[in-house]
Structure 1
Amino acid sequence: MIAAVVLGVGIGGFLDGIVIHQLLGWHHMLSGWYPSSDVHLMMIGDGLFHLLCLVIVLVGVALLNRRAPLPERVLLGGILAGWGVFNLVEGVVDHQVLGIHHVRPGPDQLVYDLGFLASGVVLLAIGALFARRARG
């Protein structure tokens, strides 16, 4: 189950970076500390973030390969729970404590940040439920 959670953390990071950073363009990894107009620096920050996500995914895959295959529901539950863990840790540490960036800066940034944290709780709960039911 730990392997699936680690994999989910990396996948959650990738989804955050691809959807929020690149497709929606709401923020970049370092946009809370530096002006977003510094495109080169924003690309470096996002690139390092994606590289870290890749390393986490590879660690998750390596951990999965060291054990018997997980039942599909346990694997899915672990991935969802890991995505939730990513949202919670990133939401608290990067958004609230360090202020590296916010989900969507502006007058409603706290609402977006809280929504991101809430999505983490929901994903973690659904993932745990999937994994628990699959284990019997």
Structure 2
Amino acid sequence: MTTLKSNALNKENQRHFSTKNMWTGILFGLGVVAFIDEVIFHQLLHWHHFYDKSTTDIGLVSDGIFHAFSFFATVGSAFLMADLHRRQAFWPKRWLGGIFLGAGVFQLYDGTIQHKLMGLHQIRYNVDILPYDLVWNITAVLMIVVGIVLLKQTSKKK
């Protein structure tokens, strides 16, 4: 009987902290995708810097600031998730929906606003950029759709 009460309490807590589960996932998704972008495209492949409109030194400083953002977002989300666990309110499926939504929104923002509108950098230089843009932005939209589906499946109205 105690397990049934405990499970009911967890479900009630999950519903009560539904928004916090989502935002914790979104923050984690933003941080992880930013971290992956920084490590793979900036550091390992040397395709671009966060800010490519100046010297390489400025580009490296901008990468460091970007990397710090990704680190703080990821660590901050870990603290929020720990609080959800402490309250017995962690909702894995809703959190995962937030991750996909946050990761997709970040990537779509990066691919459209930063790459095209602001021109801070491109994914890659001296190549036909269209295939890179398509893969980047289509992947972002797919992550957003997966996130929305997971969040709809875990809405408070159920």
Task: Note whether the superposition's TM-score is higher than 0.5.
Answer: yes
Q: Which residue of 2 aligns with 1:86?
A: 106
Q: 2-side partners of 1:62 and 1:56: how far apart?
A: 10
Q: Are 2:39 and 1:18 equivalent residues in the alignment?
A: yes
Greater C-alpha Rg? 2
Unmatched runs of 5 consecutive residues or more in structure 1: none
Offset, 1:134: 4.8
Equivalent residue for 2:138, pick from 103, 109, 118: 118
Q: Which residue of 2 aligns with 1:42?
A: 59
Q: Choose 126-135 or 78-87, whichever is displaced more.
A: 126-135
CA offsets, 1:33-52, max 9 Å, x none?
125xx2x3332111111011
Following the alignment from structure 1 to structure 2, what is the Cα–Cα distance between the partners of residues 80 and 23?
24
Rounded Cα–Cα distance in structure 1 between residues aligned with 2:101 and 2:72: 18
Counterparts of 2:24 and 2:147, CA distance in 1: 14
Any gaps of 5 or more consecutive residues in structure 2? 1-21
Which aligned runs of 4 or more in structure 1 are off by greater than 4 angstroms?
Answer: none
Give the Å deviation of 1:54.
Answer: 1.7
Aligned runs of 1:51-130 on 2, under 5 Å? 51-67=68-84, 68=87, 69-130=89-150
| Distance (whole Å) between structure 1 residues aligned to residue 138 and residue 69 of structure 2 | 24
Sequence identity percentage: 29
Paired positions, count: 132
In the aligned structure 2, how far is the partner of 1:19 from the partner of 1:132? 32
Q: Structure 2 length as normaliser, TM-score?
A: 0.72
For residue 99 of structure 1, what is the amino acid of its counterpart? Answer: G
TM-score w.r.t. structure 1 length? 0.82
